[in-house]
């Protein structure tokens, strides 16, 4: 089991002392969550810039689900492009 970063431990401790839930719910007021982010370049950017060590277990679970959605979306794009390439009408020189 990997240890949590000191910042994560500090955050969780402050949440506990204040009587608030361990999960960071402030992000809901600041923008769209990873689980609601549509597949595409913005989701890829957000995933790439996320500090995995700073995530709570629930946030890490949602991160993994968002990454899988992005991978599935990209695979569908690839399959569509391959299908179009394989079934494209032949180009004849004029």
Place of tokens 């949590």: 4
* pLDDT tens sequence across 43-74: 999 999 999 988 888 889 999 999 999 999 99
In three-state secondary structure terms, 34 is coil
Q: What pLDDT shows up at residue 93?
A: 60
Highest mean pLDDT among 27-36, 54-63, 65-74, 85-94: 65-74
With a CB cutoff of 8 Å and minimum separation 6, the contacts of 27 are: 33
Looking from the CA of 22 toward its CB, the CA atoms found within 13 Å total 11
Alpha carbon distances (Å) from 58 to 34, 54, 69, 86 = 12, 12, 17, 42
Residue 1 has pLDDT above 60, yes or no: no
């Amino acid at each position: 089991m990997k240890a949590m970063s000191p910042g994560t431990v500090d955050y969780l401790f402050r949440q506990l002392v204040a009587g608030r839930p361990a999960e960071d719910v402030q992000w809901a007021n600041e923008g769209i969550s990873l689980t609601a982010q549509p597949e595409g370049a913005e989701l890829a950017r957000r995933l790439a810039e996320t500090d995995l060590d700073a995530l709570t277990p629930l946030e890490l679970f949602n991160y993994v689900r968002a990454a899988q959605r992005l991978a599935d979306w990209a695979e569908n794009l690839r399959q569509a492009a391959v299908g179009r390439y394989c079934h494209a009408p032949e180009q004849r020189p004029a």
